[in-house]
Amino acid sequence: MPLLTNKNSIFEVIKEHPEQVRRLWIEQGSERILDEYIREAKAKGIQFRVLSKEAFLQQFKGVKSHICLERDEFSYVDPDQLLQRIVSSGNPFLCAFDGVQDPQNLGNIIRTAVCLDADALIIPKDRACAVTDTVAQVSRGAVEHVKIARVTNLARYLEELKKTGVFCYGLDERGGSPLWETDLKGPICLVFGGEEGMRRLTGEKCDAVLQIPTNHSFPSLNVATCFALAAYEVRRQRKAGHGR
């Protein structure tokens, strides 16, 4: 079971998914600074245990926080149910990632997705990072606020998305039109490669492959950075389209 030590992540689990909490430990002497956590845990019916400083340090060696939480494994959204929700939602903003393997990258992607209003993330089951405790820690609690689906075959799933009326736009340094010259206000799925780039078959399933123009002497952006820029452009266009 994942063990969380980041205070933001712990608070979001307590607040949003108390049913997934298995154990909560607090270091003795920290009750005052953790009063908000204790009150929220009590309100949600979560049992917690206060350990002496010595016992806490012995059980959680190397942990710099004064609170630890053990939770169930992360609960992914069923891919078929996600498709059904897309059909009924009207104007989704989805993002797919073709093999992100670095948990730091995935954690930052999830945090950005929540900040910039992405409706769901789609990741492969194989040759890709899952939502681990490290990913949850890096996301600083954002993982509790976004739908994430794991699919067996990403290229095939993109085909299913397109059947529902979702346009799939790949992002690649060798893409054609600049991102901001494309209308992103309709139902879309932005598709990103992993740290090694996008696989050929995935790119072929996209309706178009776009680029974020950069300094041509060093054109390659980190996938988490590329996603942040692209997600911001989607949000900018959609806000502008509503006159805000």
Domains, the chain? 3-71 (3.30.1330.30), 79-241 (3.40.1280.10)
Contact 37, 12 (CB under 8 A): no
For residues 25-41, average pLDDT: 94
The model carries a pTM of 0.82
CB-count burial class (<10 Å; 0-12, 13-18, 19+) for 216: exposed
The alpha helices in 17-96, defined as continuous H runs, are 35-43, 53-59, 79-89
> What proportion of the chain, given as a percentage, has pLDDT over 90?
68
In this predicted structure, the answer to whether residue 184 has a pLDDT above a threshold of 80 is: yes
For residues 180-198, average pLDDT: 91
Q: What is the pLDDT of residue 218?
A: 64
Q: What is the pLDDT of residue 244?
A: 42
Residue 79 phi/psi, 5-degree rounding, is -55, -40
